[in-house]
Amino acid sequence: MSAAEGPLVVGVDSSTQSTKALVVDVATGEVVASGQAPHTVSAGAGRESDPRQWWEALSEALRQCGDPAREAAAVSIGGQQHGLVTLDADGEPVRPALLWNDVRSAPQARRLTEELGGAKFWAERTGSVPAASFTVTKWAWLAENEPQSLRAVKAVRLPHDYLTGRLTGEGTTDRGDASGTGWWASGTEGYDEEILAHVGLDPALLPRVVRPGEVAGTVRDGHGLPFAKGTLVAAGTGDNAAAALGLGLRPGAPVLSLGTSGTVYAVSKQRPTDPTGTVAGFAAAHGDWLPLACTLNCTLAVDKVAALLNLDREAVEPAAGVTLLPYLDGERTPNLPNASGVLHGLRHDTTPGQLLQAAYDGAVHALLGALDLVLDADADRSAPLLLIGGGARGRAWQETVRRLSGRPVQVPEAKELVALGAAAQAAGLLTGEDPAAVARRWDTARGPVLDAVTRDDAALERISGVLADAGGLLGG
């Protein structure tokens, strides 16, 4: 470990399945220490986690960082988006948090869209059309299914808000994460009173939205973490907005993220309003916008298919006419929350490796189908796709994206972009810089560029045809 050239900051990524912490040198961007600890997600009817596990995982990740974490001058939390955290009068969880990939609120999403002016109203008001992942639909589900829980709620938070609040003792959030709730108006950049009244949510229960570059608070006594009292705490943000900061994105640069969920997004100067609901009109953490499309089924779905076939995840063969739509957890893009997987074109000579490649193709097809809607009309369609997330270093993922996109692909060498983005946000508090400019100074997007190959239009058309013909089989 080399000596730091400047002050140190901590960036945190509290994701669906684990929490990671990085201690970063503000001057150079060097990661001087890191830690990681898992937490669990329920495997029952929905997807839930006890928020106290996130705190325990954060404590363990920071313990692994050792002395450098104690020297940090600022900290920022990036966290999984959309999750509904409900707290009682003592700040304790009323019930486990409903996570982004819990799709039980699909009926509430449809009903809310219809009751308040339709998709166009929601897109223009909040930037997005409600989907089962959004926090507002989870609140509506809770009101209908657990009214006793609702009566005990004295504060409503997002996952990153919960951790930031335990650090500071204050209730804060940021525009990036707030824009994924469904009750934050993107036009006015404030909570939407009409929507809140409709779902019966008192705005007094919501956190204050911290402005870009503003300090959310300072570390308080009794937190049990290795930070000195008075350490600066940044606003934090949602994981995708944090990753955009971590890449130092400039407007128009396309990102394809391969994780538990798959996402495509780009920074834009224009406020997005897509009434089809394909593109979510999120806010970027540093003041621009972050139009984004998300799929529920990405690396975990493909890994499940590999496990069922008893194959290594890289053991693919050309799909040769077989099509697999890997919608194992329902799907958000396309909007089929009750869907299951569909296999088409199976023959006697179909091999396990071909089935596995078909799973990759089906997952990437859904993401690329939304990319044109995410990008502005004047965006450069030939620019490299920035490939990030847990799957980005997998050869099969890289080659599938190249073949189905027909674009060059750049794979940044930096591995923990959400945590790096949070660290850049914390660094911005100390230097006064735009966090994205901090990340560019750190050269976080550096990495090899894989040349473009001829796009496999036949595969794209075949998958689109199966999707169109599946109809009732998808259960949407």
> Which residues have CB under 8 Å from 439's CB, separation 6+?
29, 245, 246, 247, 248, 420, 421, 424, 445
How far is the CA of 71 from the CAs of 24, 68, 74, 412, 438, in angstroms? 11, 5, 9, 28, 20
Residue that has been written with the tokens 């009751």 in this structure: 115
User: How far apart are alpha carbons 196 and 65 in whole angstroms?
Assistant: 41
Asked if 239 is an active-site residue, the reply is: yes
User: How far apart are alpha carbons 249 and 259 in whole angstroms?
Assistant: 19
Structural tokens at position 274: 């897509």
Three-class secondary structure of residue 299 per DSSP = helix
β-pairing, 342-344 with 323-325?
Answer: antiparallel
User: How far apart are alpha carbons 155 and 308 in whole angstroms?
Assistant: 42
Taking residue 241's Cβ as centre, other Cβ atoms within 10 Å add up to 32
Rg (CA), the chain: 21
User: How far apart are alpha carbons 352 and 102 in whole angstroms?
Assistant: 30
161, 174, 239, 456: the catalytic one is: 239
List the one residue out of 418, 409, 476, 406 whose CA is nearest residue 444.
Answer: 418
Three-class secondary structure of residue 309 per DSSP = coil
DSSP 263-296: EEE--BSSPP--TTSSSEEEEPTTSSEEEEEEES
DSSP 411-459: --S-S-HHHHHHHHHHHHHHH---HHHHHHHHTTT---EEPP----HHH
Kind plus residue range of the DSSP H or E element containing 155: strand 155-157
Q: What is the dihedral of CA 244, 245, 246, 252, to 10 degrees?
A: 40
User: How far apart are alpha carbons 281 and 181 in whole angstroms?
Assistant: 11
Burial class (CB in 10 A: 0-12, 13-18, 19+), 471: exposed
Active-site residues, by number, are 239
